Homo-oligomer: A and B are copies of this chain.
Amino acid sequence: MTKDTVFPEKGIKAYRSSFLDFLDDPFYSPEADCVRFIQDGLLVLDNGKIREIGDYEQLKDRYLDIPIVSYPGMLIMPGFIDTHIHYPQTEMIAAYGEQLLEWLTKYTFPTEGKFKDKDYAKKVAAFFLNELLKNGTTTALVFAAVYPQSADAFFEEAYSRNLCMIAGKVMMDRNAPDFLLDTPESSYTETKELIEKWHKKGRLRYAVTPRFSITSSNAQLQMAGKLLKEYPDVYLHTHLSENVDEVAWVKELFPECSGYLDTYDQAGLVGNRSVFAHGVQLTDEEFQCLSAAKSAIAFCPTSNLFLGSGLFKLEQAKSKEYPVKVGLGTDVGAGTSFSILQTANEAYKVSQLRRQKPTPFQALYLATLGGAKALELQDYIGNFNVGKEADFIVLDLRATPLMTFRNPAPKPTTLEELADAVFTLMMMGDDRAIHATYIMGQLAYEKTGK
């Protein structure tokens, strides 16, 4: 080290390890063109943003005076992105025995009622965010409860952690217990206030969040559409075509609409910042409509299996003719794990039941850059391109004795070996495989013990 540092300015940091991220979508382009794998790489940050990434040997001379954090034998990836999750349902994960509509009535609605108490909501939000970080998830699209203070609680906790999170208060004005209902007018006013308060504050974004067409009247959906017109860069987050009985009920409730998606479309809710959870029961026409509108689907396999909703047609969403943006969603509390790795495990199983087989790289693309594109955040996060915000995770492919036994070589050297290694990661990995999580270059979680 010399006294004349090459980069004397504050905020330069560097990390040495293996790196994996995606430059393009491996559902549409050859994997060799999409996967960026640097066996011995250096990731250089400048005030929490990516300044440079490349081979360690090529870059090291230019960063002689920068302290380098090394993670030998680990794999660094962009943080995982969860495109659909409910924070108030954390405490009711794994509730027994029901399919969607009964499950909502029996478990969800009573639980969400507790979130009128802001102190309680803050406690749960804090636990929830810590679980996300522990599982390597750095960005999520999140349902709060109907109470505006439940959204405040979430945003306050996310803001204090400098997280890139999108959330919204639920809008619901019918077909639920009175204590959970708002009205078209109150939901409009409260949402508007929340948007003004939180949208683009720090790294936060707001999503207008009608629960689904069963609990929102057409008048309320129209109010949601009005908000989207007034604030064209906020999001729309809702559920769509999850369960057969749900779809049938929506048809009864909206006889004037051609189908479930149309109930949203007629209110102006189907656009390029709209994210629809599930889509298990979508028709061909609805897939085409989502493609034309550049809307996104959150594929939530552990939830779809847990509630017996069905098998999402991933290959149809990712078709060449009518491509639809797709991200992975845990959908906790109907989903059974906070881990995007476990979610990818069950995404693979759902596909296998349909005689499809997404590759390991396709799955990890959905978990990172694909999720960022689904959330229209690809300019900020999702891979290690220069200028992006440095939310990243340090993965241990040998986090358990069984993973070590399965991966005896210390680290992969070819793309084929890497594919095998990351497939074992997504089939056997869980929070134990997350060695550390960084938010804009700051250590936000580190695993203790092995």
A308 to B354, CA, bound (A): 7
Report B-chain residues with C-beta under 8 Å of the C-beta of A353.
305, 308, 310-311
Is A96 close to B, CB under 8 A? yes
Report B-chain residues with C-beta under 8 Å of the C-beta of A423.
94, 96
Nearest to A348 among chain B residues (CB) is B306
A73 to B173, CA, bound (A): 43
Nearest to A307 among chain B residues (CB) is B352
Is A248 close to B, CB under 8 A? no
Report B-chain residues with C-beta under 8 Å of the C-beta of A402.
90, 93, 131, 338
Nearest chain B CB to A228's CB is how many angstroms away? 34
Asked if B305 contacts A406 (CB within 8 A), the reply is no
Asked if A93 contacts B308 (CB within 8 A), the reply is no
Is A46 close to B, CB under 8 A? no
Nearest chain B CB to A449's CB is how many angstroms away? 5
Annotate A320-359 by CB proximity to B: 1 below 8 A, 0 otherwise: 0000000000000000111000000110110111110101
Nearest chain B CB to A180's CB is how many angstroms away? 22
Given A308-B353, A336-B427, A336-B428: A93 and B406 within 8 A (CB)?
A: yes
Report B-chain residues with C-beta under 8 Å of the C-beta of A95.
420
Nearest to A333 among chain B residues (CB) is B406
A351 to B354, CA, bound (A): 17
Given A131-B401, A449-B449: A94 and B338 within 8 A (CB)?
A: no
Query: A308 touches which one: B337, B352, B427, B430 (CB < 8 A)?
Result: B352
Nearest chain B CB to A207's CB is how many angstroms away? 24
Interface size for A (C-beta < 8 A) is 49
A-side interface mostly:
helix
Annotate A88-113 by CB proximity to B: 1 below 8 A, 0 otherwise: 00111111111100000000000000
Name A43-101 residues within 8 Å CB distance of B. Answer: 90-99
Q: How often does this chain occur in the complex, in copies?
A: 2
Asked if A420 contacts B96 (CB within 8 A), the reply is yes
Asked if B307 contacts A406 (CB within 8 A), the reply is no
Nearest to A432 among chain B residues (CB) is B432
Is A218 close to B, CB under 8 A? no
Is A179 close to B, CB under 8 A? no
Asked if B352 contacts A345 (CB within 8 A), the reply is no
Annotate A420-450 by CB proximity to B: 1 below 8 A, 0 otherwise: 1001100110110000000000000000010
- Additional pairs, 18, CB under 8 Å, beyond known A131-B401, A311-B353: A90-B402, A90-B405, A93-B424, A93-B427, A96-B357, A96-B359, A97-B357, A99-B352, A127-B401, A134-B401, A305-B349, A305-B353, A307-B352, A308-B351, A308-B355, A336-B427, A338-B402, A449-B449
Which A positions have Cβ atoms within 8 angstroms of B?
Answer: 90-99, 127, 130-131, 134, 305-308, 310-311, 336-338, 345-346, 348-349, 351-355, 357, 359-360, 400-402, 405-406, 419-420, 423-424, 427-428, 430-431, 449
24 contacts between A and B (CB under 8 A): A90-B402, A91-B406, A93-B402, A93-B406, A94-B427, A94-B428, A95-B420, A96-B357, A96-B359, A96-B360, A96-B419, A99-B352, A127-B405, A131-B401, A305-B346, A306-B348, A306-B352, A307-B352, A308-B351, A308-B353, A310-B353, A311-B353, A336-B427, A338-B402
